[in-house]
Structure 1
Amino acid sequence: MTDLTASRQERASALAVDTYRAIWRWHFYAGLLAVPFMILLAVTGSLYLFRDEIDHTAFASRTVVTEEATPQQAPSALIARAQTLYPDARVKAYRPPIGPTASARVTFATDAGAAYVFVNPYTGAVLDTMLKTQEFNEVVRKLHSLEYFGAYANRVIEAMAGFAIILVVSGLYLWWPRRQTGGVLTVRGTPSRRVFWRDTHAVTGAIAGGFIAFLALSGLPWSSFWGGKLTELTVATGTGYPAALWDNVPTSSEHAQHAMQTVGWTMEASPMPMPMSHDAMDAPLGIDRIVEIARARGMAPGYEVTFPGDATGVFTAAVYPDDLAQVRTIHIDQFSGQPLVDIGYADYGPVAKVTEFAINVHMGQEFGLANQLLMLATCLAIILSSVAAVVMWLKRRPSGRLGVPPYPTSRRVYGVLWGMAVAFGVLFPLTGLLIVAMIALDVLLIRRVPALKRAFA
């Protein structure tokens, strides 16, 4: 019985070692692929958290004005002043000043793309103009989503979000205390030693792991594939925007994502209304009247009015402030001024509400400065853990080799890996495809080709 017990303990110990090796190897491959993207997302995300603060300091010359005793000029007058810079361009949107010391912004549709003109609301003086693609926060946003690198690059970010969750889960398994005296909540050694960077990587990841996973999950609704499927699900189940509000309103084939200048995640897939029947001689209302209607209906400061694209379009006033309760979208008939659809956060379905809340926290908006600092700390933890992982790897790997952790000795472990790959593939399809490719490459190619096996050892 003693021999049998010892044999069982040896087998259990061998299985534990093999499992550790397999997960360590998987963690290494996932990190090798994800670390560059994780650092990029963390750096750009940190900047985007403070986009308003950056606008009001670094770019105060175009966003901040001196409050004057004279009343602000009418929107139509400000737009006319801005139009002198783009006389042949169509006015796309107008954003009234958010406060008495804020500028107004007019957006034009030009041949080079959307162009911003910032105007002093008291004097009508043009403060600055630029293409939307040149605006600092827009550059940061496009870098964050890899939009500069084409539509398919966004799917890379989506796959990396799944890898971030894998890194958190597998990292927690590797970090879990196994009789070691350090490296759990303390960092051993000095920067010259590998153990210092190992502990820095492990402890930082363990403490911030939950927040890192949250950032990855809450960023997925913006992704092209996963986010698109979530949108389809909410529309099909009625848990997104309340489609019933459009039942008695004529709609076009265009969706808000393409027609509106400002649109939130929930409203992207909603159809654009069309004006109600009217006399052919009716003239469309001007922007001054539309702004009055928006104010009268209690739109929160910071809203933007998107102009109709043609005679079959509508004005749309939309605002997405820090306070989710004030999120609002109003489609206004351009001829009668009648609000066709008026929808706020309270009208959203349950899935949309949860998703928008997560997005709001992700963007650092929900709990004020505390929310910004918490997300900033998470971004800094991602950077620190990633840099520590690279330094630890460079100190560990043999000269001229990649230094991949060793294979498990038992093939039984690979069944668990394939099972996990299937599970992740169901939840995150693009990540699952990369996992399958990664395991297949490792098992079928690297393990069987001596030259590759030596290079990866």
Structure 2
Amino acid sequence: MRKGSYNRLWRWHFYAALCITPLLITLTLSGIGYLFYTNIENKAYSDLFFGQSSQIERLTIDEGIGKARELNPDYTVSKVIVLDDPYNTRLTMTNGEGDQKYVFLDDNYQVVGSQRAEFTFSNVMRQIHSSLFVGGTVVNYLVELAACWAVFLLLTGIYMTFRGKVLKNRQNPTKPQKNKKWHAIIGTIVAVPMLVIIFTGLPWSAVMGDIIYNASQKYPVIGTPLLKQQPPASDRSEIPWATRKEEPPASSEHGGHHGSMPGMSTTPEDDSYRIGVQQLLGRIEESSIAKPYAIIYPAGEDGVFTVSKSSNTGITGLDVSPYDEVTAYFDQYSGAFISKVGYDDYGILAKWFTWGIPLHEGHLFGWPNQLINLIVCLAFLFVIFWGFKTWLSRKKAGGFSAPPAASSGLSIGFIVFMALLGIIMPLFGLSLLAVVLIEGIRYLMIRKA
């Protein structure tokens, strides 16, 4: 690229950093918090996760679920999360307004206690990290846009480091030169791992995430295998990313719709008859599905029980190795196993993100993954800090001291670089149109003056 392109990239790098730094700091700090949510929740909620009720009578899991309903009459059970010892069983209960609470059953299936879902540490960190705890389409787009522009900052930073010979040893360097060198050194070191973290997080994003998932569904050879029926309407956040929007098969029709059948239980959520959870646990064991797993209740009369093991649940104690991922479907009336989708059935794209998401979240290979992600995040914060320190060290009193405007037209290299980023990250591409419009107006104003 020509010198004019260098100045233009430097200028865009500078203004982009000013605009998105508050968001990047928020996302990085909340990401650090989320890295350690299992460690924090195991301590903070130990009485619920591992505690025992004062009632020592042994109940069946269906009786325990019935007690939870009695204690929470305005809520219905949508999920049962069965974990390995020493974790207690966890129920997800939802009321008519969509509010959720988690109710915990001990090893006798007695109720230990409950907590509001939205205020758990993991959910608070997740909400801040993905939607700034505000939510809404606009905020989701804003978060994704910040991630896209962070990619731009990292790539242009690498280019300017080597094109501008920032790492060159200088005799008697000035303070701004020293600051710029440190900013460049740490930025160059952290760039590749930070890009990995960003791109492994984008499958959850609003625009790019949908594009990736739709491609995964449209082309099963690289994505996920398709199942034929309509998906249930219930929230299924514990289902693996690769099968979250799959269409599970419907349960077959049974006489149990109209009369009692052995082993079936009536629930307040649905006046039809379905197999009890206790019996379903037996069917799950017969299907060689080991703990931990989540059981998602059928969404309607033709729905199925969905049993899921995932590498990216966001639930303390529920994550498994990507190789162990499985989503299985059981008839809600007979409990008969219908079908399942496992890791080996995924295409290369689904497999990549099945590994990438737990890598992003910091639990793919235990505490070393947490430590590496923590170091990368702290280094990224250091880069941001030193970037502003660099600007302040050369900023003239009373002036903004922005990088000089490009004196020449757009080069082919610059256009190709920006076009490629816009294609890879569509939301970034749309934001470029706004930047071009602003630059065009500025150019016309300067020319007129």
In structure 1, the residue corresponding to 2:31 is in which secondary structure? helix
* 2:205 equivalent in structure 1: 223
Q: Distance in 1 between matches of 2:291 and 2:112?
A: 21
Which structure 2 residues correspond to residues 67-216 of structure 1 after superposition, within 5 A?
73-99=59-85, 101-112=86-97, 113-122=99-108, 124-130=110-116, 132-146=117-131, 148-176=134-162, 193-216=175-198
Q: Distance in 1 between matches of 2:78 and 2:135?
A: 26
Q: Distance in 1 between matches of 2:359 and 2:138?
A: 26
Contact 1:276 1:333 in 2 (8 A): yes
Contact 1:95 1:305 in 2 (8 A): yes
Contact 1:78 1:121 in 2 (8 A): no
Shift of the 223–183 alpha-carbon distance from structure 1 to 2, 3 Å rule, reads farther
Contact 1:75 1:96 in 2 (8 A): no
Q: Distance in 1 between matches of 2:19 and 2:128?
A: 18
Of the three residues 29, 45, 48, the one matched with 2:15 is 29
Is the counterpart of residue 319 in structure 1 residue 302 in structure 2? no
Which structure 2 residues correspond to residues 210-359 of structure 1 after superposition, within 5 A?
210-238=192-220, 239-243=222-226, 246=227, 251-252=229-230, 254=231, 258-279=234-255, 280=257, 281=259, 282=261, 283-320=273-310, 321-359=319-357
Contact 2:295 2:307 in 1 (8 A): yes
In structure 1, the residue corresponding to 2:74 is in which secondary structure? coil
- Root-mean-square deviation (CA, aligned residues, Å) is 2.8
* 1:395 equivalent in structure 2: 393
Aligned-pair CA distance for 1:23: 1.7
Aligned-pair CA distance for 1:449: 3.9
Q: Distance in 2 between matches of 1:199 and 1:402?
A: 21
Q: Distance in 2 between matches of 1:148 and 1:421?
A: 31
Contact 1:39 1:382 in 2 (8 A): no
Contact 2:324 2:343 in 1 (8 A): yes
In structure 1, the residue corresponding to 2:327 is in which secondary structure? strand
Q: Deviations over 1:68-119 (max 9, x none)?
A: 9x897432132223223312322111112421x2122111111341221123
Greater shift, 387-396 or 334-343, is seen at 387-396
Is the counterpart of residue 432 in structure 1 residue 429 in structure 2? yes
Q: Distance in 2 between matches of 1:234 and 1:118?
A: 36
Identity of aligned residues (%): 25
AA matched with 2:420: A
Aligned-pair CA distance for 1:389: 1.7
Shift of the 33–296 alpha-carbon distance from structure 1 to 2, 3 Å rule, reads farther
AA matched with 1:117: V
Q: Distance in 2 between matches of 1:181 and 1:259?
A: 51
Q: Distance in 2 between matches of 1:17 and 1:206?
A: 21
Of the three residues 414, 417, 420, the one matched with 1:417 is 414
Aligned-pair CA distance for 1:396: 2.7
Q: Deviations over 1:378-431 (max 9, x none)?
A: 111221111222232233333444332001222244x54333332222111110
Aligned-pair CA distance for 1:181: 6.2
Shift of the 378–22 alpha-carbon distance from structure 1 to 2, 3 Å rule, reads same
Contact 1:255 1:268 in 2 (8 A): no
Is the counterpart of residue 441 in structure 1 residue 438 in structure 2? yes
TM (normalized to structure 2)?
Answer: 0.85
Contact 1:119 1:128 in 2 (8 A): no
Aligned residues: 420
Which structure 2 residues correspond to residues 36-55 of structure 1 after superposition, within 5 A?
36-55=22-41
Aligned-pair CA distance for 1:200: 3.1
Contact 2:74 2:96 in 1 (8 A): no
AA matched with 1:234: S
Which structure 2 residues correspond to residues 343-382 of structure 1 after superposition, within 5 A?
343-382=341-380
